[in-house]
Structure 1
Amino acid sequence: MTIAIAHLGPPGTYAEQASIFYANWLSKNTEIKGRLFPYPSIAQSLQAVAQGDVQLAVVPVENSVEGSVTMTMDTLWQLDSLRITLALIMPITHTLISRASSLDEIKTVYSHPQALAQCQGWLGLFLPTVQLIPCNSTTEALERLESDLTMAAIASSRAAQLYNLPILASGINDYPENCTRFWVVSHTQAETVNYKLLSNNSHTSIAFSVPANIPGALVKPLQIFAQLGINLSRIESRPTKRSLGEYLFFLDLEADATDSRIEYALAQLAPHTEILKIFGSYGILPIGTLE
């Protein structure tokens, strides 16, 4: 059996690298083969799953240095038919790629906003006057480097090899312990892989909006988890996009949704929320276990 896996493209992105690792792990542990399909944006990768064009998407959700990938969170909230089935943790090492003969020749640096932010200290020290230009992905601008010797891009060493481009500097991310968490997302009605046989469901992700922006609107939901001894490994707020000051709240709970405490907590949580979405329970795999 072969399944289609969407990821952020063009080829050479970190999302593609995570997808390759995942597909290799899948083929070693099941009889399922993965075929990768690049998409121009994270949102389009998730929309492809919702529309049934692919079975899975591997999308970045959080970086240890720069925090959440907001496009993933916003799109997951907007699409009701998606669920998280697995999380992958991958170390990230950025390189500066260019055909310039030295750093002095570089006038512009292109990359995904997350990558630019993860290297801002290095860029400020070694390229303080260059123009930083955000792209949809770390590899979007690589093909343009061939014809412009004043351009550079921040991407992986693997991307440099794929596009046959030289690396001017390696390990330019500001913090060596730089990791990104990816989610493997499927359609709610699809049971492509029985992950419970492959890894324990250690986390559950949910999101909710509150009925009104009043004192205690967030405290009351959070108290439910505290009283039941359920640890929150992440909490993030995002604007509802309806009105200034209205927010959605994304929570990662350290427990399986079938845990009696989680079932009770979600039942208690519902009256305090306007909309409550349960994205699924899943295990977490370090990328090193996929090789």
Structure 2
Amino acid sequence: MAVSIAHLGPAGTNAEAAALLYTHWLEQTTGESALLCPYPSIAQSLRAASQGQTNLAVVPVENSVEGSVTATMDALWQLDKLQIQRALTLPISHALMSWASTIDTLKTIYSHPQALGQCQTWLERFLPAAQLIPTNSTTEALQHLADNPTVGAIASERAARLYNLPILACPINDHPDNCTRFWVLSLQPSPGGNHTSLAFSVRDMPGALVKPLQVFADRGINMSRIESRPTKRLLGSASKQELGDYLFFIDLQADTQQPSIQSALDELAHCTEILKVFGSYDVLPIKHQAIADV
């Protein structure tokens, strides 16, 4: 029976490309086949895996230019039963597509917010007056093209091939080494590995963050990433959100199976309000030829 994998759709997104790469790795290492299941949003992709509608979800976590994908972070905090199975990093190249003959006629550009951000400098240089409109995915942006020569969309070259769309410029991302890290998640226990991801909230008091971070410093555990996100919970009798109420996501270069990490997590649980460990995992080696074949 094929392994079902949820991802941000429709077909042609970078999330689908990452899911395809993971599928190839799965077939080569275990012999299992996979069925890709596109969803309209990252949150819905994660929810499908958390509710058992699919076996896995492949979602973007962090881009080298635009930073963390907040939709993934926020949804994962809510759907805390999911565990990270693997990670993979995908080089990202963006193309500008349109039925226009030249970019001079373009007045509106559609794409996912991450793609718009990764092409910000190029857009400011060549299309400074264009209106930028965010969409749920880069592929969803393509439906706005129709035959309108004033509209453009930013997506992958692969998407252009899939939908037989003309490319006006490529690559247009601001940095040549643009890449995005993806996580593969499921309800299965994490397999262990050299990387661990977790999140916690702390009580709003002086030194509240210092104590959790000191837990790792005392044991010589290296943190490769730390980021704060609003908790989005309602506070006080007025039922309002307040600035300063945050949770923290942390990546460690360590495995929870190590005694020092287990000790750190035990201590961390006592100096945080809520602690969620998303598992330990390895990063899959992705060959450039495999990327070209997707």
Pair in the same fold by TM > 0.5: yes
Residue matched to 1:150 = 150
**Alignment check: 8 A CA contact 2:106 2:152 kept:** yes
Aligned-partner Cα distance in 2 for 1:149–1:141: 15
| SS of 2:184 mapped into structure 1 | strand
**Distance in 2 of aligned mates of 1:277 and 1:171:** 39
Which residue of 190, 206, 209 maps to 2:201?
Answer: 209
Identical residues among aligned pairs (%): 63
Measure how far apart 1:149 and its partner are.
Answer: 1.6
> 1:281 is matched by which residue type in structure 2?
S
Residue 95 of structure 1 aligns with an amino acid whose one-letter code is A
Task: Report runs of 4+ in structure 1 exceeding 4 Å deviation.
Answer: none
SS of the equivalent of 2:116 reads: helix
Change in 2 beyond 3 A, CA 1:157/1:289? closer
Contact between 2:106 and 2:149, CA under 8 Å: does it hold in 1? Answer: yes
Deviation at residue 141 of structure 1 after TM alignment: 2.1
Q: TM-score, normalised by structure 1?
A: 0.94
236, 239, 247: which one aligns with 2:227: 236
Aligned partners of 2:277, 2:194: CA distance in 1, in Å? 15
Match of 1:253 in 2: 252
Decide which of 215, 233, 251 is 1:224's aligned counterpart.
215
Q: Is the contact between residue 191 and residue 280 of structure 2 (CA under 8 Å) also seen in structure 1? A: no
Deviation at 1:143, TM superposition (A): 2.6
Q: Which amino acid aligns with 2:218?
A: Q
In 1, Cα distance between equivalents of 2:97 and 2:90: 21
Write the mapping of 1:81-230 to structure 2, written as runs, cut at 5 A: 81-187=81-187, 190=188, 201-210=193-202, 212-230=203-221
Q: TM-score, normalised by structure 2?
A: 0.93
Where structure 1 has 5 or more consecutive residues not aligned to the other structure, the ranges are none
Question: Partners of 1:202 and 1:6 in 2: how far apart?
Answer: 25
SS at match of 1:141: helix
Matches of 2:218 and 2:75 in 1, distance apart?
31
Query: Does the Cα contact within 8 Å between 1:110 and 1:134 map onto a contact in 2?
Result: yes
Cα distance, 1:213 vs. partner? Answer: 1.5
RMSD: 1.3
How far the C-alpha of 1:147 sits from its partner, in A, is 2.6
Q: By how many angstroms is 1:145 displaced?
A: 1.2
For 2:279 and 2:288, the matched residues in 1 are separated by 22
Work out the CA distance in 2 between the residues paired with 1:173 and 1:286: 24
Give the drift of 1:174: 0.6
Alpha-carbon separation, structure 2, partners of 1:177 and 1:110: 23
Q: Which runs of 5+ in 2 are unaligned?
A: 234-240
The answer to whether the 8 Å contact 1:143/1:163 transfers is no
